[in-house]
Structure 1
Amino acid sequence: TLGKTSAHPAIKAFMCGSLSGTCSTLLFQPLDLVKTRLQTLQSGMRVGMVTVLLSVVRTEKLPGLWKGVSPSFVRTIPGVGIYFSTYYSLKQHFFQDRSPGALGAVLLGGGARTVAGVFMLPVTVIKTRFECGRYSYSSVVGALRSVCQTEGTAALFSGLTATLLRDVPFSGIYVMFYSQTKASLPKEISASPSAPLANFSCGILAGVLASLVTQPADMVKTHVQVNPQMKTVEAIRYIYMENGLQGYFRGAVPRALRRTMMAAMAWTVYEQMMAHIGLKS
């Protein structure tokens, strides 16, 4: 039915992106929760991903792994939609029917992520606080109200610099590697029924590379959003003083798994849906 509507192509891209984001968020939320818990451990503690995972299940039961899924949905459903619709609009405006090169792909991905990241940052802050286990918010709306009343509206934009330093390079690098590896696939694979699987594999490779490059910024972002009185520079200094350089890579494994799988799934679903409704992604 989506393909039969007269909606603007950017709106269709928004709807396709939102659906792809919903699927990936529900599936990979536990990895995001474990990543946040690892990043907010007390200094000096040395535990692994599996230990944290088992601890959450033991103390908060299995549904505890999906704590923070409500703000994740509130952020991801419109956020991924905004990202893909912005990406589609920018690509149509600047490249039309041409395929962007490596630099063009970086600019497209980074530009789309900047718009979505700034717009959805307040929900990202609430999501991080839900996952860290230090706050007892009952709902997303209640959390937003509580932060505004006790800390001021500015707290909802804490970690903006670190978030953009993480998300903009991630998206730019991801789109570059993803588009370039896809373009290098043999035409018989791209036109075959196995094309979605091939695209997913390209997304996995791109996601791993982008995650490793942007991991330090993610660690800083988490500390600033959990401790809103802490500035970005202070968070960078604190992490280094407490744990050294390796401290910036705490939670790297679950984050890389989640970001890689989410991005690969989101892009695969998005492109299949866009092709189904007759639009070039």
Structure 2
Amino acid sequence: MAVRQSDLGINGITPIQQMIASCSGAFMTSLLVTPFDVIKIRLQAQRTPFYKGKCFVYCNGLMDHLCVCENGNNAAWYKAPGQFKGTFDAFIQIVRNEGPKSLWSGLPPTLVMAVPATVIYFTCYDQLRAFLKYKLEYDGAYIPLIAGALARVGAVTVISPLELIRTKSQSRKLTYRELGRVVKIAVAQDGWLSLWRGWGPTVLRDVPFSAIYWFNYELMKSQLCKKYNKNEPTLTISFSSGATSGAIAAVLTLPFDVVKTRRQIELGELNTMKSQKTLTTTWKIMERIVTESGFGGLFVGLLPRLMKVAPACAIMISSYEYGKSFFRKINREREVKGDLQSDIS
């Protein structure tokens, strides 16, 4: 199918092509990162057995998902069948005893939300960045920061109700009709805004991360392209820039990640127990963490977060940039072919 010049955006590709590029990057990231989080959850279950109703956060490299343990350690993909001596030993035992597929347990349902969220996020970022730079003619260095923050707000706002509904459905087995009834009751009692419960903590963590990440990524990418005299970023440039900027953003936003994770888990467990207890605010939770564990409590899990976020950012952005480069090349070839045909005719 020919691509008309009028359909092409500022980046030389269509929005549909941007979506395809981000979608392929999302799948690639999930396939490579998910096994690490499955192993992490198994090790957590071994140290502290999961009781019925226990909540934990599962990540496929793209976004966090709250899961509710239904049957204690009998639940299939996060049970601890033996004693693991460490990450590598867990990897070997899981593959040997349960097969390689177990390393991707829980991936399909999370992709239902993660892939659309990633497509919205990356496509909106590129479109906003181009709009600010070329339409509004704003040539400031903070364009990536502004576009990244706005794109993340949009993605979080769209996905928040789905995340809340998914959490409720995991707290106990529900048919689609029963789930619809639960949502109707929640809306009738607390209004439509109740579907965005937890939106605030998510924004506090994800929006600063996104702004910092894109600002550093675009800066590093442009510097490396100039250094190596490249018009477009190579796979190596995208990968290294993505990993470095992801690591910086992960460190700076870790306190909000700790708060958001604790709030998510508390919310899930309260839903499971049908408790009427009211959750405290983000700042109250942060104050409680500092009181209980000191200031260092806000930076708990720094190394595991870096080990997960940096590779995920690197894989996602390099896959996305490669996809965009691929489509740009195809569009240029089609444009040249179309010009030749016009000259002949």
C-alpha contact (below 8 Å) 1:110/1:169 kept by paired residues: yes
Q: 1:213 to 1:257 in 2, by over 3 A?
A: same
Aligned residue type for 1:160: W
Q: Paired residue for 2:23? A: 18
The TM-score with structure 2 as length reference comes to: 0.63
Residues 1:212 and 1:96: Cα distance change in structure 2 (over 3 Å): same
Distance in 2, matches of 1:194 and 1:94, equals 21
Is the CA contact (8 Å cut-off) linking 1:79 and 1:116 kept in structure 2?
Answer: yes
1:195 corresponding residue in structure 2: 234
Is this contact kept in 1: 2:120–2:155, CA < 8 A?
A: yes
Shift of 1:139: 8.9
Q: Is the 8 A contact 1:36 1:251 kept in 2?
A: no
User: Given residue 150 of structure 2, which amino acid in structure 1 is its aligned partner?
Assistant: G
Aligned equivalents of 2:321, 2:265: Cα separation in 1: 35
- 1:37-64 per-position Cα deviation (integer Å, ceiling 9, x unaligned): 96xx79xxxxxx957x949x77x96766
The residue aligned with 1:45 is none
Q: Which moved more, 1:12-21 or 1:2-11?
A: 2-11
Distance (Å, rounded) in 1 between the aligned partners of 2:165 and 2:230: 42
> Identity of counterpart residues, as a percentage?
26
How far the C-alpha of 1:276 sits from its partner, in A, is 1.4
- Across the aligned residues of Structure 1 and Structure 2, the Cα RMSD in angstroms comes to 4.3
- How far residue 237 of structure 1 moved from its aligned partner, in angstroms, is 3.1
Partner of 2:110: 72
Query: CA separation in 2, counterparts of 1:105 and 1:177?
Result: 9
Do residues 162 (structure 1) and 201 (structure 2) align? yes
The answer to whether the 8 A contact 1:71-1:124 is kept is no
Quote the residue 1:28 is aligned against.
33
How far 1:81 sits from its partner (Å)?
0.6
Q: Is the 8 A contact 1:147 1:155 kept in 2?
A: no
Cα 1:235–1:54 change in 2 (3 A) is farther
Partner of 1:46: none
* Cα offset, 1:266, TM superposition: 1.4
- Higher-Rg structure is 2
Give the corresponding residue for 2:243: 204
Aligned to 2:183: 148
SS in 1 for 2:279: coil
Match of 2:319 among 269, 274, 280: 269
**Equivalent residues, number:** 269
Cα separation, partners in 2 of 1:167 and 1:37, compared to 1, 3 Å: farther
Distance change (3 Å), C-alpha of 1:194 and 1:159: closer
Establish whether residue 238 from structure 1 lines up as the match of residue 288 from structure 2. yes
3-state SS of 1:102 partner? coil
Q: What is the alpha-carbon distance in structure 2 between the residues aligned to residue 218 and residue 143 of structure 1?
A: 32
Cα-to-partner distance string for 1:153-206 (whole Å, 9 max, x where unaligned): 766533211111111111111111111111111547353999211220111110
Matched to 2:115, the amino acid is: I
Classify 1:163/1:67 alpha carbon distance in 2 versus 1 (closer, same or farther; 3 Å). farther
1:46-125 alignment runs, 5 A limit: 50=86, 54=90, 66-96=104-134, 101-125=140-164
Bigger relative contact order, structure 1 or 2 (CA pairs below 8 A, ≥6 apart) = 1
Residue-by-residue CA offset, 1:195-246 (whole Å, 9 max, x unaligned): 2112201111101100001111111111222222423234223323332222
* Matched letter for residue 222 of structure 2: A
* Alignment correspondent of 2:306: 256
Q: Which has the higher helix share?
A: 1
Cα distance 1:193–1:78, how it changes in 2: closer, same or farther (>3 A)? closer
Letter in 2 for 1:230: L
- Partners of 1:141 and 1:30 lie apart in 2 by 29
Amino acid at match of 2:297: G
CA distance in 2, matches of 1:7, 1:222: 40
Query: Does the CA contact (< 8 Å) of 2:240 and 2:314 recur in 1?
Result: yes
Matched-pair contact (CA < 8 Å) for 1:212–1:252: yes
* 1:3-25 CA distance string (max 9 Å, x none): 79968822221221122112102
